[in-house]
Structures are given as C-alpha cells and as structure tokens.
Structure 1
C-alpha cells in the first residue's frame, strides 16, 4: 500500500503504462472526451477535486517533456493560465487544435474543476538516470 502521493489505482496504472512520447491530458469537468479515449473520472462534484492539485500530484509521478494548453485560458481563467504557462511551461495553442489532440491521448484525467479552460495536454518523457 502506498504511503503518500496518488492512491487512485486506475490513475497509477495508467501513469505507469506511459512510454516516451505518449500523451495524456488532465481536464476540467467540461472538456469533451472523444469516444475510444479512456477516461479516468476523478470528479465527485463541481469544484472537487480542483485541477491544480491533481496536476501537481501527477507531475510527482511522471516525467513530462512537453505540455500544451488552450490559448483561450488567458482571458477566461487567468489563475489557470499562470499555472499552465509559468509553472508547467505549457505552450498555448488554438482551442480547436487542443481538442483535436485529445483524440491521440492514451487517457484523459477529468477533475471536478468548474472554471473554464483548466485543461492541459502532456507528453511523457524519459527519466534518464
């Protein structure tokens, strides 16, 4: 049994299964997930769990080499925009392009986040030792 960090068995299994260049997303409660893309739904109510703490826990478990977010986050959700661009170094792209890239994800982690455009797409890296 884990003593800290993530304890969601399905999410841990998905993260452990990632390989170099695989992509996955962490989303707010409203991002449409295409049929066929596995969904790990953590949302239990609007606002719970929040987007940022879920991303932080995930980033403690996986190596990431690139990240993307919707450019619409800047105007619609400045708090998320700051985290996405300054802390997680996400490149901002058109929202339609962001949604198209979700089709290629190994999985999407849906949070209960109720603020708009709190979504990020990550590309797995390699933890070279």
Structure 2
C-alpha cells in the first residue's frame, strides 16, 4: 500500500502519465466539465475536500511551471488567489476570462472536482520537468 503523496489512485495515475507542458485541472464543485475530459470527483459535501487542500496534495507529486486562473478571481475571490500564490510562490500565473478557462478544460488530462464552493476556485496546472 502506498504510504505518502497522492493516495487517490486515479489522481496518482494521471500525474504519473503526464509529461512536460501537459495540463491537469482542479476546481470547485460547480465547474462544468467537458464530456471528453476525465472527471475525478472527490466532493463528498460542501467544502469537503477544500480546493486548497487538494491542490497542496497534488503538488507533492506534480512539478508545475505555470498556472492558469480566471481573471475574475482577482475581484471575486482574492483570498483564494492569495492561498494559491502562497503554495505556488515562484510559478508563472496567466489570467484568462472564466469563459475561456472553462473551454481550456477540454485540453486537460483530467479535472479534479473538490467540494469547494467559493467562486472561481479553479486552476489549470501546467507540468514542468524535474531535470
């Protein structure tokens, strides 16, 4: 049995299959997921698990070089933006309109759905390289 890191077998599999510049997304309970994008649903109730807890867990195993966030997070959820910046302090951020971020989900390896219910708690992680 695995002892550390990402314990969810689906998330662990997706991370293991990612290469440089591939995308993985994590989001709130209400984010619409394109039909052809794998959805890993972790939501068990409102706020459980939280977006930031899932992000921190994924970052144990995934090297991230860039992130994409909705432009609207700056005004509508600055606390979550601050949380994201604190766990990814040296990672480039590209802000895009929320409607574009939703379209970009179609290019991600998977979408991890959390129980988060605060607005614009959605992120696309672009994988980096470890060498």
Q: Give the structure-2-normalised TM-score.
A: 0.91
Q: Is the 8 A contact 1:23 1:105 kept in 2?
A: yes
Q: 2:117 maps to what in 1?
A: 114
Q: Distance in 2 between matches of 1:11 and 1:87?
A: 19
Q: Is the 8 A contact 2:56 2:87 kept in 1?
A: no
Q: 1:52 maps to what in 2?
A: 52
Q: Is the 8 A contact 2:52 2:84 kept in 1?
A: no
5+ long unaligned stretches in structure 2: none
Q: 2:26 maps to what in 1?
A: 26
Q: 2:14 maps to what in 1?
A: 14
Deviation at 1:78, TM superposition (A): 1.6
Q: Is the 8 A contact 1:84 1:120 kept in 2?
A: no
Q: Is the 8 A contact 2:25 2:123 kept in 1?
A: yes
SS state at 1:103 partner: helix
**Aligned positions of 1:1-129 closer than 5 A:** 1-85=1-85, 87-88=87-88, 89=91, 90-128=93-131
How many residues are aligned here?
128
Q: Distance in 2 between matches of 1:6 and 1:105?
A: 18
Q: Structure 1 stretches (4+) deviating beyond 2 angstroms?
A: 83-91
Q: Is the 8 A contact 1:40 1:109 kept in 2?
A: yes
SS state at 2:100 partner: helix
